[in-house]
């Protein structure tokens, strides 16, 4: 009887141990499964000035090495046109402008919280001419020699506004105004010069450096135009605030700033 009782007791203890281990394994499973679950895929839309395209392509590629779940779609164009789209309700997560006034317009409309915006980089305005041009245009003062000159539409393209300021301050706007060919953004100005459709154009230094078909004839003095500053900020109505802030913060890292400087932008 005693042996039978001890055998029964041993079996019961063994079963209790097995049951306890099984229970513990089951309780761990949800946590383990939750930890292993892939991050939710998120898509961000960023409206950015056309002149930022090359730098942002590389920066985004680097960002995705760390955050593969965040897909970033860019809407490039003239800052003024992009600002108007956002003002009219376009679904955008971040705005990266080439002009402070376009950015501040959205701040004043309460579409961007000022604390989630920053003046990030700067640029220079340059005069470009086609490679091997025979026009003899070496300075801004030489522009009267040209038949056609391209700048961005000043009302919507910041580079065009800066260009008009330069020509006005150099007292040659009235002389060349009739020769101006307006473009929708700086990339279109660059294309006009590359193809020889115009004799000269005014673009950002960063755009000029991307082309082997043009050469920089002159750089505008900072005294002749409004400071060229690129602010970036998160749109309040973004449905992915966490991911938008993640990319916004990444743009301010040394790794991102090194890329901006590689493409000719200046850190502020």
Q: Which two tokens stand for residue 26?
A: 């089951």
> Is residue 204 marked as binding?
yes
* Cα–Cα distance for residue pair 80/100, rounded to 1 Å: 11
User: Residue 44 in contact with residue 197, Cβ under 8 Å?
Assistant: no
> Is residue 78 marked as binding?
no
> Is residue 51 marked as binding?
yes
| Cβ-proximal residues to 259 (8 Å cutoff; 6+ apart), any chain | 55, 58, 59, 62
Q: Which two tokens stand for residue 28?
A: 């761990």
User: Exposed, middle or buried: residue 209 (CB in 10 Å: 0-12, 13-18, 19+)?
Assistant: middle
> Is residue 230 marked as binding?
no
Q: First-to-last CA distance in the chain?
A: 90
> Is residue 36 marked as binding?
no
List the binding residues for molybdate.
51, 79, 159, 186, 204
């Amino acid at each position: 009887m005693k042996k039978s009782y001890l055998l029964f007791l041993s079996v019961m203890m063994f079963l209790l141990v097995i049951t306890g281990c099984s229970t513990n394994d089951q309780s761990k499973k949800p946590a383990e499964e939750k930890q292993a679950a892939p991050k939710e895929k998120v898509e961000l839309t960023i409206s950015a000035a056309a002149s930022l395209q090359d730098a942002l392509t590389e920066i985004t590629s680097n960002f995705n090495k760390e955050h593969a779940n965040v897909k970033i779609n860019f809407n490039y164009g003239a800052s003024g046109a992009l600002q108007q789209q956002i003002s009219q309700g376009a679904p955008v997560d971040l705005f990266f402008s080439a002009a402070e006034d376009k950015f501040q317009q959205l701040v004043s409309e309460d579409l961007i919280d000022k604390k989630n915006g920053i003046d990030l980089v700067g640029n220079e305005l340059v005069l470009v001419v086609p490679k091997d041009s025979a026009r003899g245009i070496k300075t801004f003062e030489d522009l009267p020699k040209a038949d056609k000159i391209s700048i961005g539409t000043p009302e919507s393209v910041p580079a065009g506004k800066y260009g008009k300021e330069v020509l006005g301050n150099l007292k040659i706007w009235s002389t060349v105004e009739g020769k101006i060919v307006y473009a929708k953004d700086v990339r279109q100005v660059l294309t006009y010069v590359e193809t020889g459709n115009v004799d000269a154009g005014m673009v950002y230094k960063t755009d000029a450096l991307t082309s082997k078909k043009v050469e920089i004839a002159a750089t505008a003095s900072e005294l002749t135009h409004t400071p060229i500053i690129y602010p970036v900020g998160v749109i309040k109505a973004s449905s992915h605030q966490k991911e938008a802030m993640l990319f916004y913060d990444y743009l301010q890292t040394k790794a991102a700033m090194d890329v901006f400087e590689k493409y000719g932008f200046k850190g502020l």
